[in-house]
Each structure stands twice: as structure tokens, then as C-alpha cells.
Amino acid sequence: MLTNEQFEILRKEVAPIIEASTIPASYGWPNQISMALVDAVFSIRARYNPSGDNENPTGLLKRLRQLKASHPEIADDLSKLVELGAPKLIEIMGDSKSGQQSKAGCVIHAAQNYLNLEVRAAADLDAKSSAHKKAYISVKGLGPVTYEYFAMLLGTPGVKADTLISRFVNRTLDLPKPDELSSANIRETIVALHQHESFRDINLSVFDNIIWRHESRRNK
């Protein structure tokens, strides 16, 4: 639980970040399950858009747009994503890894798990279903934090309490390693911060993502 002083330190750090950001009209990949899945997996420890320019992005966002432009048929069809396959995905998205697993392989594995559950399009996914969550987190290299992000990209409000958000909060509060907040506490902190009158009119997922993108542009 944060002290009032710690909360105020965070609020003062976040306020100019939000003020300097363009609040997008929409967030994520609504009705585009394959794009949301690729984004969720490849965003792990990635620099999303280091330039900060949404018109001419760099980093992960640039590659995501290239993927959609070159293979529009996959956008909301996991069967088409599986047909595309990991080698082609690596060609466009790169061969980065999560937990020593190829991210492209993780994407295809998760997509096949969903197809086995007859989840093919965004409309078929129930983010609150334990079976649908298990289809994602049972893949080695994937976990509950990026599952929540996957759901957020498809329209479920949430917080991606991953390495970057955790780093932002712990760094801002200048917490030594033994006192750093857990992922669950980080999530609670971002949700509580969002409830402040300065921020509550912004969609929670957008609020979280603005902080995430800000931190992703920093050097480690």
C-alpha cells in the first residue's frame, strides 16, 4: 500500500507524461484477434515506438503495421495466422524470444490452442473464461500479465503490469530491490492512480499504455 507521499510523487511524475501525450480515439486492435495476439507476445521487453511518432513509427509498432499491411487476411482470423506460420512471422517481426522460447512460436502455439477451443475471431474470445486464459498462459514464455494486455488490446479495460510499468513505478519511488512492488501491487497502484480526478476521464487501458510507451522509450 502506498503512502500519501508516494502517491503524490507518482502523480506528479505521471501528470506531465499524460499532458504531453496525444490521447488516441481508440486503443489496441479491436476486432483483430491475430494482431492483438502478435502485439501482446512481441511487446514483451520490447521498445514499442521509440520515436513517439504515430504517423511514422519505429520499433515494434512499425513491424506490426507492416505485418497487417502485408497479410491483412490474418487480422481477425487465427486460422490464417497459423497458416502464415512462425517462419514468415519471424521474417516480419524478428526472432526475439520470451523465456528462451521464440515469440513467433509462442504466437502460433497460442493461436492453435484457441482454434482447438473454437476461438477463431475476436468475437469468439471471452477474456474472463478460465479456459481461454489457460490457452494463452499454458504456452511456455507467456503469462497472466501479457494475457491481460491481450484482452486490453481487444477492448477489455486493464493494466499491463509488466517489466516496464514495474520499472517506472519502482524507479519513480526510488525503491531499493528488496522493497520493489510486486506485479499485483503495481497493478493496484496504476488503477488507484487512474482514479485521481486528473486522470479518470481517460480510458484505463490508454492511461496504462501512455505510461508504458513513455517508459519503453527510456534506456534501461
DSSP calls for 179-212? GPPPHHHHHHHHHHHHTSTTTTTS-HHHHHHHHH
Residues pairing with 101 in the sheet: 98
Q: Are residues 38 and 19 in the same domain?
A: no
Q: Which three cell numbers stand for residue 202?
A: 481517460
- Looking at residue 134, its pLDDT comes to 98
Q: Are residues 20 and 38 in the same domain?
A: no
The closest of 92, 87, 90, 104 to 38, measured between CA atoms, is 104
**pLDDT grade, residue 220 (50/70/90)?**
low
- Looking at residue 218, its pLDDT comes to 79
Q: Number of folded domains in the chain?
A: 2
- Which CATH number goes with the domain that contains 127? 1.10.340
Q: Are residues 163 and 100 in the same domain?
A: no
Q: Are residues 20 and 55 in the same domain?
A: no
Residues 116-135, mean pLDDT to the nearest whole number: 97
**pLDDT grade, residue 178 (50/70/90)?**
confident
Q: Are residues 138 and 47 in the same domain?
A: yes
Whether residue 204 is predicted with pLDDT greater than 60 in this model: the reply is yes
Domain holding 187, by residue range, is 4-25+159-216
Cell 499491411, residue located: 69
Last residue of a domain, one of 153, 174, 206: 153
Q: CA angle at residue 199 from 208 to 216, to 5 degrees? A: 30
Whether residue 166 is predicted with pLDDT greater than 90 in this model: the reply is yes
